[in-house]
Amino acid sequence: MKKIILVFCFYLISSFASVFAAEVVSGEVIENGFGKFKIRDSSGTIRLVYIGRSETSFRPVTWRQTVGDKVKVSYIVRPVKNSQRMVATLVELVKQGANSVMIKSPLNVVITEVGRKNILALPQGFSQNIRFEKQRNTIFSPVGWTPMIGDKVIFHFQIIPARFGGGMVNLLSKVEKR
């Protein structure tokens, strides 16, 4: 009887270990979606990888995958109804793609659009606009100045994870007119 219980316990432990053991796959991101992305590995297999807010981490921390990036993904397989899902535990950037943008604060930009909550700006040397989010305590220098379209400014910001969607938000702390 003790042997049967011992064998059963061993079976349970091994089945849980196989479910939660991380596997690794490398490839190129070919499609992005809300909470998931597709990668094509070296053999040409296309895999759908889900991103969990609490269980997925990224390297570098301020980066999120875009189409064209080469990534290495550690994942676990989760059973869901009649199938299984690959849920990423770690997504690492191997090589940056053409669509990926890495920015650092402070940044010289030209403002292309101003809204109530966001400012759209074109950084020097870039071909695409980047969205920056204003907060209540954003400092505008000189005092009393409000940003307008076409202004050349310096943005001081921090990059934080978005509340929804798994992306990143560029949060403005100070805007200086050049």
* Domain-wise residue ranges, the chain: 24-95, 107-177
Tens-digit pLDDT profile for residues 27-59: 999 998 888 999 999 999 999 999 887 788 888
pLDDT, position 15: 40
24-95 and 107-177 in the same fold? yes
Would you write out the chain's pLDDT as a tens digit for each of its 178 residues?
555 554 444 444 444 444 456 899 999 999 988 889 999 999 999 999 998 877 888 888 888 888 899 999 999 998 888 888 999 999 999 998 877 778 888 999 999 999 999 999 999 888 888 999 999 889 998 988 889 999 999 999 998 888 776 678 899 999 999 8
Amino acid at 14: S
- CATH architecture designation of domain 107-177: Beta Barrel (2.40)
pLDDT, position 16: 46
pLDDT, position 20: 54
Residue 86 token pair = 């690959």
Phi-psi region of 144 (alpha: psi -120 to 50; beta: other; left: phi over 0): left
Would the pTM of this model clear 0.75, i.e. be above it?
no
User: Domain 24-95 is classified in which CATH homologous superfamily?
Assistant: Nucleic acid-binding proteins (2.40.50.140)
Write the DSSP assignment of the chain as a string of letters: -HHHHHHHHHHHHHHHHHHH--EEEEEEEEEEETTEEEEEETTS-EEEEEE-TTT-EEESTT----TT-EEEEEEEEEEETTEEEEEEEEEEEEE--TT-----SSEEEEEEEE-SSEEEEEETT-SS-EEEE--TT-EEESTT----TT-EEEEEEEEEE-SSTT-EEEEEEEEEE-
Cβ atoms 30, 70 nearer than 8 A: no
Tens-digit pLDDT profile for residues 133-146: 999 889 998 988 88
pLDDT, position 9: 47
